[in-house]
Amino acid sequence: MHVFSYFYHMRIDIITLFPGMFSGPFDQSIVKRAVEKGLLEIHLHDLRDYTADKYRSVDDYPYGGGAGMVLMIEPIAKCLDHLKSERLYDEVIYLTPDGQLYDQKVANHLSTLQNLVLLCGHYKGVDERVREHFITREISIGNYVISGGELAAAVVTDSLARLIPGVIGDETSALSDSFQDDLLSPPVYTRPANYKGWKVPEILLSGHEQKIREWRLEQSLKRTIERRPGLMENIDE
Ligand code: ADE
């Protein structure tokens, strides 16, 4: 008998000035579980380890003047050359507020890939030549500015970890998440059934599976129409 088994495994290399920022998000919950199960490998690379000068400097003043510092191309190129000499990367992603807005569709697509690099920017960003010659995709996690790409890279990594088959059990399948079918999730309740007169909807206590499924779909539709009507039509809101 032939047993076809697909072995899912994703490797994410993160290039950052602040590797310590990931210790919280990656040491807990789903990401931790994905790593422990051997389904996800995360490698943090401190950009300062790839500098050539004795001051270990990674940034410099912008040509033409202006406020802020710019990450230099050399340490980034050195780090990327090193990584690319060891394996093929599907995407080299730069986290930046002027990138493509991240959503579940992009997450689903990225989760099918094997090797990713996430480059975290800082200060005024990276030398434009990095973006022109090394970066294959630019991602923004929202229309606001955070202090660097680290938190954005953690968000992207978390969203991918939960999509790797085998990371989340059937009982909490990522396929039932909000956004997966362009619908928001229905409301959920747990014990007690009556909290100081605030009651759980009767239908959920009825044990009638078909009726409960219908009620949940109805609630999902209602919620989506009320809160995020553009989601169903795939319109950017
Ligand atoms: N770096 C700074 N702000 C960002 C954002 N909104 N998304 C991704 N990277 C960022």
Pocket of ligand 1, candidates 103, 137, 141, 150: which has the most ligand atoms within 8 Å of its Cβ, to mutate?
141
pTM score of the predicted model: 0.92
| CA 150–ligand 1 middle distance (angstroms) | 9
Pocket of ligand 1, candidates 146, 157, 158: which has the most ligand atoms within 8 Å of its Cβ, to mutate?
146
d(CA 103, CA 142): 9
Atom 4, ligand 1: which residue's CA is nearest? 97
| CA 122–ligand 1 middle distance (angstroms) | 9
| Mean of all residue pLDDT scores within the chain | 93
Given pLDDT bands bounded at 50, 70 and 90, which one contains residue 7? low
So what's the architecture of 178-234 in CATH?
A: Orthogonal Bundle (1.10)
Our answer on whether the CB atom of 146 is closer than 6 Å to any ligand 1 atom is yes
Given pLDDT bands bounded at 50, 70 and 90, which one contains residue 179? confident
Answer yes or no: are the C-beta atoms of 118 and 95 closer than 8 Å: yes
How confident is the model over 131-160, as pLDDT tens digits? Answer: 999 999 999 999 999 999 999 999 999 999
Q: Where are the domains of the chain?
A: 10-161, 178-234
d(CA 25, CA 44): 13
In terms of Cα–Cα distance, which of 34, 43, 21, 11 is closest to 165? 34
Tell me whether domains 10-161 and 178-234 share a fold. Answer: no
Q: What is the CATH number of domain 10-161?
A: 3.40.1280.10
Mean pLDDT of 160-181: 81
Answer yes or no: are the C-beta atoms of 74 and 52 closer than 8 Å: yes
d(CA 152, CA 118): 10
Mean pLDDT of 181-204: 96
